[in-house]
Copies of this chain bind each other. A is one copy, B any other.
């Protein structure tokens, strides 16, 4: 390990580094707050800085560009989502799948601005940046949970990674359409539709192809 080479940094140097980090976090929070209140279109560099009573160029001492800040918020979102999924994964195997689907939904509608930053909706760019580690974390939590549920039923997944992709795609599509107001009947109905369909979608991922109904 080459970590911590050279002499110990002086006390004030450490303090200033800490203040830098706090400033960075405050900038992220400000952007997130504006987005939550007025949508991503209202998130401009001058408004972010203004919210902290700084002038616009301050942002470039903490992020290389506006997009850089947005990408960072995306990883914040994935971290929060992963945490919620971890929590839901502690449910009993019988309820775990539904709990995780509900956790996904709850996260998305509790923090729509983060969900949008993560999925490139509404003016937030996406695709150029690599998928962050936090996203892979969330994915892994999901995969382990699905495998556990399968083995609790005395079965196993034909293609664990594929099962996660498939179910993730369904959850994302459901939330995405619901958030855009594209599901007639409102979000409550959309949520019910999603939760009801996730179980058969999972069963079909079990070895042996198109699985039958879930065991009672």
Interface residues of A (CB under 8 A from B): 41, 119-123, 125-127, 131, 135, 161-162, 165-166, 168-174, 176-177, 180-185, 189-190, 193-194, 197, 199-201, 203-205, 209-214
A176 to chain B, nearest CB (A): 6
CA distance A194 to B173 in the complex (A): 12
CA distance A183 to B205 in the complex (A): 17
CA distance A210 to B97 in the complex (A): 15
What is the count of identical protomers in the complex?
Answer: 2
Query: Could you name 17 residue pairs across A and B whose Cβ atoms are closer than 8 Å?
Result: A120-B121, A122-B126, A123-B123, A161-B185, A165-B177, A165-B193, A166-B193, A169-B170, A171-B173, A172-B177, A197-B201, A197-B205, A200-B204, A201-B201, A201-B204, A210-B213, A210-B214
A177 to chain B, nearest CB (A): 5
CA distance A169 to B184 in the complex (A): 13
Partner of A170 from B127, B173, B185 at Cβ < 8 Å: B173
Residues on the B chain within 8 Å of A173, using CB: 168-174, 176
A83 to chain B, nearest CB (A): 20
CA distance A203 to B190 in the complex (A): 19
Partner of A183 from B165, B183, B194 at Cβ < 8 Å: B165
Chain B, Cβ-Cβ closest to A213: B210
CA distance A91 to B15 in the complex (A): 69
Contact status B193-A162, CB under 8 Å? yes
Residues on the B chain within 8 Å of A184, using CB: 161, 165
